Amino acid sequence: MLRYSLKRALSLTISLAIASLVIFAVIEIAPGDPASFMLGVNAQPDTLAALRTELGLDQSKAERYVSWVTGMLRGDFGTSYTYRTPVSQMIADRLWVSLPLALYALALSTAIALPAGIYAAARRGKPGDLAVMGATQLGVAVPNFWFAMMLVLIFAINLRWFNAGGFAGWDKGLVAGLHSLTLPAIALALPQAAILARVMRSALLDILGEDFMRTARAKGLTRRQALWRHGLRNALIPVLTIIGLQFSFLLAGSIIIEQVFYLPGLGRLVFQAISARDLIVVESVVMLLVFAVITVNFLVDLAYAAVDPRLRSRT
Amino acid sequence: MSLLQITDLSLSIHAYEILKRVNLTIAPGEIVAVTGESGSGKSMTALAVMQLLPGGARASGSIQLDGQEILTLPEAQMCALRGAAVGMVFQEPMTALNPVKTIGDQVMETILIHEAMTPDRAEERAREVLTRVGLPPDRFPLSRYPHELSGGQRQRVVIAMAIALRPKLLIADEPTTALDVTTQAQILDLLKGLVQEYGMGMLMITHDLAVVADMADHITVMRHGEVVEAAPTQRLLTGMSHPYTRMLFAASDHRVTLPAPPPPAPLLKVSDVVRDYALPRTRLFARPGHHRAVDHVSFTLNRGERLGLVGESGCGKSTLTRAILGLEPVQSGEIRLAGQPVFDGKRANPEIRRRMQVVFQDPYGSFNPRHRVDRLVTEPFHLLDTPPTGSERSDRIAEMLTAVGLSPDDAGKYIHEFSGGQRQRIAIARALIIRPQLILFDEAVSALDVSVRAQILDLLAQLCSEYDLTYLFISHDLSVVRTITDRVLVMQSGRIVEQGDTEQVFSDPAHPYTRALIAAAPQLPETGARQA
Amino acid sequence: MSRNLILGAGLSSLVVLAALLSFVWTPYDYAALNIPAKLQTPNGQHWFGTDHFGRDMFSMIMVGARTSIAVALLAVGIGMSLGVPLGLTAAARKGSWLDELIMRGNDLVFAFPSLVIAILITAVFGAGAVNAIIAIGIFNIPVFARITRGAALSLWEREFILAARVAGKGAARISAEHILPNVANLLIVQGTIQFSLGILAEAGLSYVGLGAQPPTPSWGRMLADAQTMVSFAPHLALIPGLAIILTVLGLNLMGDGLRDWLDPRLRVART
């Protein structure tokens, strides 16, 4: 188990290193000089040079890469070209919106999808199954940002249960914060829940065809007991993969959903940065997103080993 | 009173009739075997008793267990019967256990689901049962997972689960088909002992007539969902009344006559061959270990000779086959065909490759489902510098298809239009079409029903006379190797432990392993069937 | 053929036909402003109503279908043409450093969701439909590589591949002659699914301004424009949304239907 975890951790580190190189390289291709962009066309050469030194732009590419990476390891993401404030501070503020939103949506999606998938699998071919499958077929086809607009139309504009947008802030209390994230989380979660429910159902149905499920029934377990005691844990293996993948979709999706609800999250930050050509902010946000995805995949790998004893002993 | 009484059981799944008015009785302490070829409905009979039939199944007639009608029993009461009054053992021990639960948990589950007791007491019972089936907890702790056990050991766990509550009836569906002969003998002994000790009735489903004759008190022969003959074992063996039964027994012990081999002249020389596989690293910085699949093997195969290679699964016979075919490199030693090395530096030698062909075991996986027969059988033409074209090509295809007992018109068909036996004929045609000097038969008749197997063996004998075949016949089935080869090699753990003339080796085995193999293989008793 | 397949193929071809037709005919010029006729709800003249500039929504939906289909189709093309050869190669050289390299590369690309790639590209080169195609296409590569490798690996274990090797055929030839035709069905089904995901992704990217730029109409941007008016002109949001849903639904139903129809196991059972 320890060796398996170490091996996964090593591959996590390598992935992060390569990802950072790729991101750095892409941003390097960007035409134009951030310093002259910030100061405008009429800048004095010596002010320009001073700013370039301040931003570290006079260093070689390798030096800048190393200082960027080592900076991030210390939590220093550099200074925003446009706002002249530390990027880490800007990101931290926004992360307190985006990360809870993604986690909230992930929790909702899992809480809805797993029972729905199990329910449908247990009633395969019956009306209950067909209803769940029909709903998921529709859910998969709905763009989440459009769904978000419809939620706003119904629950904020017509029913006035929620605000149409904006974020109350965590300093107003957990409930107020969650309240303003509820519609965005639902909009993010339901389309993903539709996918997850389908995966849960088909994973369980695959397991139901396995020999050991027949053995379980031959022992005298009822269909339901066999499903819960023997089916579920085996079916979790593919489901975990999808939950891991969904986290990255949710995080990316939250960037779009923030636009619908005018939430001050990473999405807003990154789009402002793009239009202001504040590349250091874009670079850091992208690296952070990729870091989150890779780390979640690492956690999923560890969860596999917890579920499947064959992984623990083999490697 | 009988323990199990099946009367006029008919079964259909959707529109297909699976069983037609089947009758069967089992008394306490009695072993009743149901036998027949694939599609006979023997397994469905067993599943009907358990009421674990696939969806869409409808049964009529009567199944009485201890006087209680099962067909009309509500599911809840059926659950109470399964595992407690009736236990079941399945064919595939590798997949019959839940991979993510320990063997102790799985055995305890049978006990706990039917009897209220503390987990400690159930664990105690699980220990007793596992000890009884030959897995004492001091050597096989209850915390083991299925993947840490061998096939035979897993089958013992399945048996332990089935007998934990001392059921009145044990159903065993092909319990040893997936196991090696020596393991098979041990499992059969275990089952026999349990039946005697517990006074259970046992319903044994198997296609293997030698096992049937050895184990059963009573035999029921089925075909296409019908019972064709049923009688006490002795009476059935001595006086088979139905022609199908006679055919089945005759085919199980089918003998062919091979033409005499020419005087020895070496064709294939295998000298001191070693093949290692790297094992996954056990520690991060330690050198990975290796598994020696083939361990200093040497033998010679003469022109015109039919050589057998027997051994149990994992003995290295498949690896050796691949090495001879030039599909895998060897670590040391040399394989030469007609004096030239099979492996030429880093690649297979094309000169040599065109002199060898192979027939595999699986009649269903051996062909690309998207190609027609003409394209399938001519694939080896790729080895020739100038492959025949036009009418020459179609003539060769027609000749080969005729030689293996098919029609030249079959060239335009797809492979799914053929039965398993016909596919094996096509595989032989494919191997023969470039007239190789050597053919390897890798378990080529192992997946076939006995009657089809007999026909393919006849075909081989006939081809031996017509085409002067030289072949290496790799099989785990001793009775087949005995009749279809002149000489035999016995392989154990990567080594050839014995070789010699087939009759000599079988009648007077020298090596203890050969003796164990032959002793473990169930023998068909002499019956009146052979003359039929 | 199942109901799913017929319904799915019907919906999908409807959208494709609308997109093709838009090259030669639309009810109105999709770009023509007509302020007096703005914000009409669907009626006899304007079947889907008009937007805040009085542009005909039906014409815009037709031309928007063009954008969606072109982006999704090209993205699937990128994914397939690079992913399938990579997957075939990895499977043919299973366990080698090449296999390892391809699979690790796949994992790495999976860590960059399409939106993140689009953000990067836009930050560097500016926004446009080509960005959307590249971003979605790159993300499709590992999808196809993985599914091809998985299916090919199990085929490589089959005896007919061994027979081909005994017949002296090399890995490249076997991949082309035996493996590819046998994974083609799977790829067609996956292609349909990626196509529908591509439509969704394109809509999302153009909604946040990372996709097709004005004046090219696209469903996602129509929704972005509609957002501020949703309280008094909900049809501006409803209609492009329904267009996306029906297209994606149609493609998914077609994928499911194709899977059942092409699966040889199911077909053997049926005959």
| CATH code of the domain covering residue A145 | 1.10.3720.10
> How far apart, in whole angstroms, are the C-alpha atoms of residue B229 and residue A114?
52
- Of B418, B461, B355, the C-alpha closest to B473 is B461
Chain C: touching chains (3 or more CB pairs < 8 Å):
A, B
Report the chain A residue with the minimal C-alpha distance to residue C109.
A19
Q: What is residue B363's predicted lDDT score, i.e. its pLDDT?
A: 84
| pLDDT mean over A139-156 | 92
pLDDT at A123 over 60: yes
Reported confidence tier of residue A313, pLDDT bands at 50, 70, 90 = low
State the DSSP code for B349.
-
Based on the number of CB atoms within 10 Å of its own CB, is A221 exposed (0-12), middle (13-18) or buried (19 or more)?
buried
On whether residue A265 sits in a domain, the answer given is yes
Q: Which residue in B357, B367, B369 is closest to C166 by CB distance?
A: B357
Tell me, yes or no, whether A218 lies in a domain.
yes
Query: Mapping DSSP to helix (H, G, I), strand (E, B) and coil, where does residue B332 land?
Result: strand
What is the share, in percent, of chain A residues with pLDDT greater than 90?
Answer: 32
Q: Tell me if B408 sits within 8 A of B395, measured CB to CB.
A: no
- Give the model's pLDDT for residue B281: 57
- Nearest CA to A260 out of A149, A147, A157, A101 is that of A149
Q: How far apart are the C-alpha atoms of A276 and A292, rounded to whole Å?
A: 25
Chain-centroid distance, C-alpha A189: 12
Q: Is residue A204 domain-resident?
A: yes
Maximum separation of any 2 CA atoms in chain A, in Å: 86
- Residue B50: its chain A contacts at CB < 8 A? 217-218
Distance CA A5, CA A224 (A): 34
From CA B92, how far away is CA B268, in angstroms rounded?
37
Residues on chain A touching B114 (C-beta within 8 angstroms): 220
Instruction: Choose among A272, A299, A275: nearest CA to A94.
Output: A272
**Is A143 close to C122, i.e. CB distance below 8 A?**
no
Disruptive mutation site among B98, B101, B113, B281 for chain A (greatest number of A CBs within 10 Å): B98
Least CA distance to B115: which residue of chain A? A220
Beta strands in B242-339 (DSSP E): 266-278, 290-302, 306-310, 332-337
pLDDT of residue A20: 92
**A261 touching C (Cβ < 8 Å):** no
Which of C108, C196, C234 is facing A19, going by the closest CB pair?
Answer: C108
The answer to whether B464 touches B439, Cβ cutoff 8 Å, is: no
Taking domain B265-277+289-355+437-455+467-532, whether its CATH number is 1.20.1250.20 is answered by no
Option in B79, B90, B98 nearest A220 (CB): B79
**Residue among A145, A253, A286 whose CB faces C120 most closely:** A286
**Distance in Å, alpha carbon of B327 to nearest chain C alpha carbon:** 7
SS3 letters across A194-209: HHHHHHHHHHHHHHHC
A&C contacts, CB < 8 Å = 128
Q: How far apart are CA B361 and CA C157, in angstroms?
A: 13
Asked whether this chain's domains B4-252 and B265-277+289-355+437-455+467-532 adopt the same fold, the reply is yes
Cα nearest neighbour of A13 on chain C: C108
Q: What angle do CA A211, C158, B360 make, to 5 degrees?
A: 100
The pLDDT, as a whole number, for residue B501 is: 94
Q: How far B5 CA lies from chain A's nearest CA (Å)?
A: 20
d(CA B101, CA C116): 41
Give dist(CA A153, CA C264) in Å, integer. Answer: 47
Number of domains in chain A: 1
Structure tokens belonging to residue C89: 């190669």
Which tops the pLDDT comparison, A171 or C170?
Answer: C170
User: Cα separation of B190 and B197, whole Å?
Assistant: 10
Q: Do C163 and B358 touch (CB under 8 A)?
A: yes
Q: Which pLDDT score, from 0 to 100, does residue C176 have? A: 93
DSSP letters for chain A: -HHHHHHHHHHHHHHHHHHHHHHHHHHHH--S-HHHHHH-TT--HHHHHHHHHHHTTTS-HHHHHHHHHHHHHTT---B-TTT-SBHHHHHHHHHHHHHHHHHHHHHHHHHHHHHHHHHHHHTTTSHHHHHHHHHHHHHHHS-HHHHHHHHIIIIIIIS-SS-SS----GGG-HHHHHHHHHHHHHHHHHHHHHHHHHHHHHHHHHHHTSHHHHHHHHTT--HHHHIIIIIHHHHHHHHHHHHHHHHHHHHHHHHHHHHHHT--SHHHHHHHHHHTT-HHHHHHHHHHHHHHHHHHHHHHHHHHHHH-HHHHHH-
The string of pLDDT tens digits covering residues C135-160 is 999 999 999 999 999 999 989 988 99
| Interface touch B368/C162, C-beta < 8 Å | no
Domain boundaries, chain B: 4-252, 265-277+289-355+437-455+467-532, 370-436
pLDDT of residue B409: 93
A138 found inside a domain = yes
Chain C closest-CA separation from residue A221 CA (Å):
30
Contact B99 A309 (CB under 8 A): yes
Which residues of C lie inside 8 Å of B (Cβ-Cβ)?
Answer: 158-160, 162-169, 178, 181-182, 264, 268
Which chain A residues have a beta carbon less than 8 Å from that of B87? 218
Chain C hits for B369, Cβ within 8 Å: 182, 264
Beta bridge partners of B308: B473, B488
Residue A69 has pLDDT above 70, yes or no: yes
Q: Given this model, what pLDDT does residue B399 score? A: 94
- pTM for the full model? 0.87
CB-CB contact of B228 with B242 (8 Å): yes
CA dist B143 → B105, B107, B138, B405 (Å) = 8, 11, 11, 55
Is A1 domain-assigned?
Answer: no
Which of B382, B457, B469 shows the shortest CA–CA distance to B432?
B469
Q: Which domain holds residue A234?
A: 92-269
CA distance B348 to chain A (A): 33
Q: For position B527, what pLDDT does the model report? A: 62
pLDDT of residue A49: 83
Name chain B contacts of A229, Cβ cutoff 8 Å: 109
C166/B358 touch (CB, cutoff 8 Å), yes or no? yes
Which residues make Cβ contacts (< 8 Å) with residue A145, sequence separation at least 6?
A187, A256, A257, A259, A260, C203, C204, C207, C223
The distance of B77 to chain C (nearest Cα, Å) reads 34
**How far is Cα B437 from Cα C2, in angstroms, rounded to an integer?**
52
pLDDT of C3 > 90? The answer is no
DSSP secondary structure letters along B119-171: HHHHHHHHHHHHHHTT--TTTS-TT--GGGS-HHHHHHHHHHHHHTT--SEEE
Confidence of residue C129 (pLDDT cuts 50, 70, 90): confident
Contact status of C115 with chain A (Cβ, < 8 Å): yes
Nearest CA in chain C to B363: C159
Nearest CA in chain A to C240: A146
Report yes or no on A155 lying in a domain. Answer: yes
C-alpha C232: how far from chain center: 33
C203 in reach of chain A (CB within 8 A)? yes
**Most C-contacting residue of A21, A136, A146, A286 (CB-CB within 10 A), to test interface:** A146
Of the candidates B260, B258, B256, B228, the one whose C-alpha atom is nearest the C-alpha of residue B241 is B228
State mean pLDDT over C95-99.
89
Tens digit of each residue's pLDDT, chain B (532 residues): 689 999 999 999 888 899 999 999 999 999 999 999 988 999 999 999 999 988 888 999 999 999 999 999 999 999 999 999 999 999 888 899 999 999 999 999 999 999 989 999 999 999 999 999 999 999 999 999 999 999 999 999 999 999 999 999 999 999 998 888 889 999 999 999 999 999 999 999 999 998 998 899 999 999 999 999 999 999 998 888 899 999 999 998 899 999 988 888 999 999 999 998 877 655 555 566 788 889 999 999 999 999 999 998 888 898 999 999 988 888 889 999 988 888 876 777 888 888 999 999 888 889 998 899 999 999 999 999 889 989 999 999 999 999 999 999 999 999 988 999 999 999 999 999 999 999 999 999 988 999 999 999 999 999 998 988 999 999 999 989 999 999 999 999 999 999 999 999 999 999 999 999 999 988 887 765 444 3
Q: CA A256 to CA A261: how far, in whole Å? A: 9
Residue B398: both structure tokens together: 């027609």
| pLDDT score, position A252 | 83
Residue A315, in any domain of the structure = no
Give the whole-angstrom CA distance, residue B425 versus residue B459. Answer: 9
Contact by Cβ (8 Å): C115, C211:
no
Listed in sequence order, the residues at least 6 apart from B127 whose beta carbon sits closer than 8 Å to its beta carbon are B137, B142
Q: Which fold has domain B4-252?
A: Rossmann fold (3.40.50)
Higher pLDDT: B418 or C123? It is B418
Per-residue pLDDT, A187: 94
Per-residue model confidence (pLDDT) at position A245: 83
Angle at C5 (CA atoms; ends C1, C9), nearest 5 degrees: 125
Report yes or no on A73 lying in a domain: no
Does the pLDDT at position C269 exceed 50? no
In this complex, the residue of C159, C167, C268 whose CB is nearest that of residue B382 is C167
Which segment of A103-107, A214-218, A255-259, C25-29 scores lowest on mean pLDDT? Answer: C25-29
Q: Name the residue type at position C21.
A: L
Structure tokens at C28: 């109105």
Contact criterion met (CB below 8 Å) for B289 and B465 = no
Mention every residue, 6+ apart, whose C-beta is less than 8 A from residue B452.
B419, B420, B421, B424
List of chains touching A (3+ CB pairs within 8 A):
B, C
Question: Token pair of A108, please?
Answer: 């909702």
In this complex, do A270 and C230 lie within 8 Å of one another by their Cβ atoms?
A: no
* Residue-level pLDDT at A315: 40
Report whether pLDDT(C116) > 90.
no
Residue B51: closest C-alpha in chain A: A218
Chains contacting B (3+ CB pairs below 8 angstroms):
A, C
Residue located via tokens 């914000």:
C39
CA distance C35 to chain A (A): 25
Contacts of B76 in chain A (CB under 8 A): 222
Inspect the interface and report whether the beta carbons of B383 and C167 lie closer than 8 Å: yes
Is-contact B43 B203, C-beta < 8 A? no
Contact residues, B window 382-411, toward C, CB-based 8 Å cutoff: 382-383
**N-to-C CA span, chain B:** 37
Of A215, A221, A314, the CB nearest to B158: A215
Please indicate whether, in this complex, the C-beta atoms of B99 and A212 are within 8 angstroms of each other: yes
Q: How many CB pairs under 8 A join A and B?
A: 83
